[in-house]
């Protein structure tokens, strides 16, 4: 699958570098005084200085749980998800939705978690026990 590109607004490039590069382990790519690119699990993120627009009232419901909208993230391998969740917990990250299991025992069984970056952008990470279930109906 070809990588996607996502550009979004952040308020502080140093905090953004610490979060995406330091905490999430994303390799930094090109940059300029007002933006920085990251290799986000094989995809290109471009964080640009600006004023993000977030409305805490924008929530979606998934299995009765409130999930911030909009959000972006990555579908990870099961082991990578578990490792990342452990690293985030060890670093005291405040989760919007703590790492948890959904659809346990079903074909679509998945681990999921949501968190905010320093600018308030919402991220969701997911891992499917059976990766072929990602697009299953």
66 and 42 in a single domain? The answer is no
133 and 93 in a single domain? The answer is yes
The pLDDT assigned to 99 comes to 97
113 and 46 in a single domain? The answer is no
Kind and range of the H or E run holding 98:
strand 95-102
pLDDT band at 136 (very low <50, low <70, confident <90, very high): confident
The pLDDT assigned to 135 comes to 85
pLDDT band at 137 (very low <50, low <70, confident <90, very high): low
The model's pLDDT over 47-84, given as tens digits with 9 standing for 90+, comes to: 999 998 888 888 998 888 889 999 999 999 999 999 99
8 and 64 in a single domain? The answer is no
- Per-residue burial over 54-75, b if 16 or more Cβ lie within 10 Å, else e, is beeeeeeeeeeeebbeebebbb
Residue among 79, 58, 92, 57 nearest 125 (CA): 79
Answer positive or negative: Cα dihedral of 136, 24, 42, 34: positive
17 and 79 in a single domain? The answer is no
6 and 46 in a single domain? The answer is yes
Report the number of distinct structural domains present in the chain: 2
The model's pLDDT over 78-122, given as tens digits with 9 standing for 90+, comes to: 999 999 999 999 999 999 999 999 989 998 899 999 999 999 999
Using alpha carbons only, give the angle 62, 84, 89 rounded to the nearest 5 degrees.
85
67 and 87 in a single domain? The answer is yes
Which residue segment(s) compose the domain that 10 sits in? 1-50
């Amino acid at each position: 699958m070809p990588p996607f590109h996502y550009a979004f607004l952040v308020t502080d490039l140093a905090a953004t570098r610490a979060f995406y590069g330091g905490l999430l382990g994303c390799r930094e790519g090109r940059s300029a005084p007002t933006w920085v690119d990251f290799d986000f699990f094989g995809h290109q993120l471009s964080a640009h200085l600006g004023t993000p627009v977030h409305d805490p009232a924008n929530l979606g419901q998934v299995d009765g749980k409130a999930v911030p909208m909009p959000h972006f993230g990555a579908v990870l391998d099961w082991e990578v998800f578990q490792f990342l969740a452990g690293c985030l917990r060890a670093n005291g990250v405040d989760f919007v939705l703590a790492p948890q299991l959904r659809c346990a025992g079903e074909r679509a069984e998945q681990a999921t978690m949501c968190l905010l970056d320093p600018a308030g952008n919402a991220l969701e990470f997911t891992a499917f026990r059976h990766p072929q279930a990602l697009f299953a109906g």
